[in-house]
């Protein structure tokens, strides 16, 4: 069992937890993920490692409450325990040897982008972070990005905080200001990463994206997380989750990602009813 040491709501739909998992913390690196089960009969879900403390033996996870399993997870509190917490899985992000990198995060994807930005900063890289949200009340991790970035550009769709517009608007402006990036790292909704890659391809800037497709076992055996990258089939759990964004078939990835949307809504409704009965 893996004890929840801290639980913190970051916005109305996003929660951070600190999990006691010393063996995972010992080996964890930016860009990797874990697979957990909230209960013994629960569903396995992958979550990116949002932070870790090797000395304390803890791992941070940040998740958005979107379906039945994340609702079940969010119903737990500090002092409760998770049934399973397996990792670290996947290939760590490349963070060494860069002089200047733009890190682009969208929505809850900023939780994945943050440890990468921190690792780049720790390796002496100049980090420009562009973070985008739909509105002010959904902003997360602003202080953390400020602490590890030489420049932070905050964007919101509705203009309620920072600058109104898309992350691609901010990135193109920074490029046109003369910033020569060794690499752009984009993490967020697939459609956002697609348009970031369309922009950077125009400027011939290498771009790495982090993919989080449907995943079951996390070892490459089930094939659920397959993607087409450069015309070849890759598995996000073992070949990624980071890939060359200019080679990813985003349209296929978006189509596969929507396959179980109706089922996810059904499980969410089912979990809402279950939690309501528990409260009564």
Same domain? For 64 and 119 the reply is no
Q: What is the 3-state secondary structure (H, E, C) of 20-45?
A: ECHHHHHHCCCCCEEEEECCCCCCCE
What pLDDT is recorded for position 264? 58
In a domain, 264, yes or no: no
The series of mean pLDDT values per 10 residues for the chain, 280 residues long, is 94 95 96 93 90 96 90 94 94 94 95 95 97 95 96 96 95 96 95 96 96 78 84 89 93 74 58 54
- Calculate helix-pair angle for 190-202, 250-257, nearest 10 degrees: 180
Q: What does the block give as tokens for 186?
A: 């984009």
Q: Are residues 56 and 154 in the same domain?
A: no
Is there a single domain that holds both residue 207 and residue 112?
Answer: yes
Are the beta carbons of 51 and 106 closer than 8 angstroms?
no
- Which of 37, 66, 89 delimits the end of a domain? 89
Q: Please count the other Cβ atoms lying within 10 Å of the Cβ belonging to residue 166.
A: 19
Residue 45 lies in a domain: yes
The answer to whether 245 and 197 have CB atoms below 8 angstroms apart is: yes
* CATH number assigned to the domain comprising residue 12: 2.40.30.10
215/170 same-domain check:
yes
Residue 21 structural domain? 2-89
- 182 with 78, same domain: the answer is no
* In a shared domain, residues 78 and 162: no
Residue with tokens 């982008």: 113
CA-based nearest residue to 112, from 16, 48, 65, 40: 48
In the chain, how many domains are there? 2
Name, in order, each residue with C-beta under 8 angstroms of 192's C-beta and a sequence gap of 6 or more.
104, 106, 109, 132, 166, 167, 186
Report the C-alpha gap between 233 and 227 in whole angstroms.
Answer: 6
Answer yes or no: do 244 and 146 share one domain: yes
Domain assignment of residue 275, yes or no: no
pLDDT of residue 163: 95
Q: The whole model's pTM is what?
A: 0.87
Predicted local distance difference test score (pLDDT) of residue 274: 54
Q: Are residues 154 and 219 in the same domain?
A: yes
Residues 111, 150, single domain; the answer is yes
Residue 243 sits in a domain of what CATH number? Answer: 3.40.50.80
Cα(39)–Cα(82) distance, rounded to whole angstroms?
6
- Residue 17 included in any domain: yes
* Length of the chain, in residues: 280
Domain boundary among 55, 89, 123: 89
């Amino acid at each position: 069992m893996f004890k929840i040491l801290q639980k913190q709501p970051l916005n109305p739909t996003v929660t951070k937890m600190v999990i006691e998992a010393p063996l995972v913390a010992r080996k964890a690196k930016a860009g990797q993920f874990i697979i957990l089960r909230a209960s013994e009969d629960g569903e396995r879900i992958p979550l990116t490692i949002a932070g870790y403390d090797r000395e304390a033996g803890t791992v941070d996870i940040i998740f958005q409450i979107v379906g039945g399993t994340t609702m079940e997870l969010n119903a737990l509190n500090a002092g409760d325990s998770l049934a399973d917490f397996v990792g670290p899985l996947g290939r760590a992000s490349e963070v060494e040897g860069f002089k200047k990198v733009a890190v682009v995060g969208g929505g809850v994807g900023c939780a994945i982008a943050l440890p990468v930005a921190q690792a780049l900063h720790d390796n002496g890289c100049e980090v420009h972070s562009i973070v985008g949200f739909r509105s002010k009340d959904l902003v997360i991790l602003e202080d953390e990005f400020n602490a590890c970035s030489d420049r932070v550009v905050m964007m919101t769709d509705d203009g309620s905080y920072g600058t109104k517009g898309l992350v691609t608007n901010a990135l193109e402006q920074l490029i046109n200001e003369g910033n020569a990036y060794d690499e752009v790292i984009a993490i967020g909704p697939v459609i956002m990463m697609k348009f970031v890659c369309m922009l950077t391809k125009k400027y011939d800037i290498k771009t790495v994206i982090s993919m989080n497709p449907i995943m079951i076992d996390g070892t490459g055996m089930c094939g659920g997380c397959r993607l087409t990258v450069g015309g070849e089939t890759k598995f996000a759990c073992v070949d990624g989750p980071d890939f060359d964004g200019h080679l990813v078939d985003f349209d296929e990835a978006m189509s596969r990602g929507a396959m179980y949307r109706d089922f996810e809504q059904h499980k969410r409704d089912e979990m809402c009813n279950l939690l309501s009965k528990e409260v009564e």
